[in-house]
A and B are shown apart, each in its own frame.
Chain A
C-alpha cells in the first residue's frame, strides 16, 4: 500500500545573512494513513521545518514530498494555498485563534473557503465543536476560554473541513497536564476513529507516548531515540 505521506530525500536550506542553514538534509520518511506519529528532538533540530513541509506551508530545496498521492513539493505557492485549504489542518502550540472572532466563527474560517451554504456550515461547525466537547462555548471569544479549551477550538477549526492530514506543533506545550491529556486523547481518537493521519511535534515524552510511533530528529536526521526505543521503519501498529 502506498503511504499517505511519503518524504523522499528532502533537503531544506535557509539563508541567514551570509551563512546557509540546512535544518533538514536528505531526509526520508513514510507515514501510512491513519497513523498518529510524533516527532521529538532538541530545539533547532528541524521539527517545525519538517512539519511545515508536510503541511505545505513551505517547500523543500530538493527531494519529493507526496501526500495522499499528490506531489505537493511541486506545487506553486498559490496551488499550495489551495491544497492546504482542503487537505490540511494545522494545530499550533499557542492555538492562534483569531481573538476578535467567537469560537464558532473561528471554526467557520476554513469552511468559508469552500462552497458550503450557511446551514451546512453550521451543521459542520457544531459537529466539530461537539467532537472537541465545546458545543456550549460556541459564542465565546478566545479570551473567555481556558488554554485547553482554546486548543480544542483550534482542533475543531483544524478538522471542520474534514482534511485527511493534521499537523500539530507542540499542541500540549503550553497546557497543564490534565488539559494536555485531554488534547492527546482527542488527537488519538481522531486518528483511530476518524482515520486522520497526524504528525505531531512534541518535547514531552508523555505526549510522544500517546502516539502510535515516535521519531527522533537531531540535526536534520532521524536518530535512534536516546531513550533506547528503536526508530522503527514500519509503523508500530
Chain B
C-alpha cells in the first residue's frame, strides 16, 4: 500500500483542482440533502396535519378540494347524532368550518393569497394541536394567525404581530392572537370568526364539518354520511385526506428530484473532469510506482483515497452550509408551510452521496489512468 500521506499531499498538488473537486462534491451533496429534506419536510407536515381520529364531512363530489365543497349548516347539528363523537365538558367536538382562499393585504400594502379558515371556538376541540401562543381567540372583525402564516404571505413576522391590521377587500381586521399547531399546515392559516368570514366571503354554507371521534369510531361517521343520503355528504378520515393531498404533490417532488439530479449531474461531471485531468497528469508517475512494484490495485486504492478525502471534505462543507442554509428553513407551498430539518436521515443521505462520489466517481478516471500498459505509460509525456 502507498502511504496515506501520498494521497493527502496529492490533494494539495493543484489547489485550483482541489477547490473544484471539493466545491463540486459540496454542491452535489448539498442538493441531495436539500431534495431529501424537501421530500421529508412535505411528508412530515402532511402526516402531522391529519389525525386518524378526525373525520371530515365534505359535500359529495368535492372530496379533492375543501374550498369547493359546500355543506349546509344543519349538518353540524345533525352530526351530533353520530355515536362516538368526542366531547369535552359537555361540548361535542364538531367543527363546521369555512375554508377560503383569497388575497389579503397587510398594513404595509403587501397583498398575497391567504389560507383562511372561519371557525367557532369549538374548532379547538377538533384541531387538538392548535394552541394560542399569544393574544386571544378572534371575535368579530378579528383574526388569529398561525405563527408561520407570514411565511405563506411572504411578509415579515412583525407584520402579522398581535394588534396589526389586515385588509380583506374593503374591510379591516385586527390580529387578536397568534397560534401554533406544531408541524401542521394549520400554522400557515389565518383563522376568522366563522360568521365574520361567512359575511366577508358571502357564503351561507359551510365548507366542511370536522368531527373528533373516540378511538375506533371513525366508521360511524362514514356510516352517517351513507345513511343521511339527503345531506349529500362524503366522509373521509383526516389523515387519509392529507395522505391523498400528498399524492397530489408527488409530481412536484419528482420535479425537485429531477432538478436536483440535473444540477448535481453537472457538478458531478465537472468534478469527474477535474479528477480525469488530475489523474491523467500523473500517468507516468503511477507507471513509475508500478515499476517499483506497486500493484495497480494499490494505486487505485490510493487514488480512491485521494478523491474520498476531497469529496468528504466537500461533504463536510455541505453539512456546514446546510446547517446554516437549510436547517430550520420554512418553505411555503400551496396548502401550508413545511420545515427543512437536517434529520439523521438527511445527513446519512448526504454522507452516502459523498462516499459514492469519492469512490464510484473516482473509478472511471482512475481506471482510465491505470489501463495503459506499463511500457506505454512510462514513455508517455
Q: Give A residues with C-beta under 8 Å from B.
A: 48-49, 52, 55, 57-58, 78, 81-82, 84-86, 90, 92, 96, 98-101, 105, 109-110, 112-113, 157
Contacts and interface: CB of A to CB of B under 8 A. Distances in A.
A112 B9 contact: no
A96 B294 contact: no
Nearest to A97: B288
B369 to A, nearest CB: 15
B375 A58 contact: yes
Contact of B293 (A52, A86, A92, A99): A86
Contacts of B284: 96
A85 B2 CA distance: 13
A101 B288 CA distance: 14
B269 interface: no
B291 A57 contact: yes
Contacts of B290: 81
Contacts of A105: 3, 5
Contact of A113 (B293, B374, B375): B293
The 3 closest A-B pairs by CB, nearest first: A85-B293, A96-B288, A100-B9
Nearest to A55: B291
B373 interface: yes
B370 to A, nearest CB: 12
Contacts of A112: 1-3
Interface residues of B, number: 23
Contacts of A81: 290, 293-295
A110 B288 contact: no
Contacts of A109: 289, 292, 294
A101 B289 contact: no
Please report whether the interface of chain B is mostly helix, strand, loop or mixed according to DSSP.
helix
B82 to A, nearest CB: 78
16 contacts: A48-B375, A52-B375, A57-B378, A81-B294, A82-B293, A85-B293, A86-B293, A90-B291, A98-B288, A99-B285, A100-B10, A109-B292, A109-B294, A110-B292, A112-B1, A157-B292
A105 B373 CA distance: 26
A92 B289 CA distance: 12
Nearest to B291: A90
Contacts of B374: 52, 57-58
A90 B292 contact: yes
Interface of B: 1-3, 5-6, 9-10, 13, 284-285, 288-295, 373-375, 378-379
Contacts of A100: 6, 9-10, 13
B290 to A, nearest CB: 7
B373 A110 contact: no
B295 A92 contact: no
A105 B6 CA distance: 10
Nearest to B290: A81
A91 to B, nearest CB: 10
B158 to A, nearest CB: 56
Contacts of B291: 55, 57, 84, 90
Contacts of B3: 105, 112
B297 to A, nearest CB: 9
The residue among B9, B293, B378 with the most chain A CB atoms within 10 A of its own CB is B293
Contacts of A58: 373-375
Contacts of A90: 288, 291-292
Contacts of B13: 99-100
Given A48-B379, A96-B288, A78 B295 contact: yes
Contact of B294 (A86, A113, A157): A113
A58 B291 CA distance: 10
B375 A84 contact: no
Nearest to A83: B293
A100 B3 CA distance: 12
A81 B185 CA distance: 65
Nearest to B3: A112
B2 to A, nearest CB: 7
Contacts of B10: 100
A98 B295 contact: no
A203 B165 CA distance: 94
Contacts of A84: 291-293
B288 A85 contact: no
Nearest to B8: A100
Contacts of A82: 293
B350 to A, nearest CB: 30
A46 to B, nearest CB: 12
A96 B285 contact: yes
A102 to B, nearest CB: 10
A109 B292 CA distance: 8
Given A49-B375, A57-B378, A98 B293 contact: no
Nearest to A112: B3
Given A84-B292, A109-B289, A113-B293, A98 B6 contact: yes
Contacts of B289: 98, 109
A51 B227 CA distance: 97
A160 B284 CA distance: 21
Nearest to B296: A81
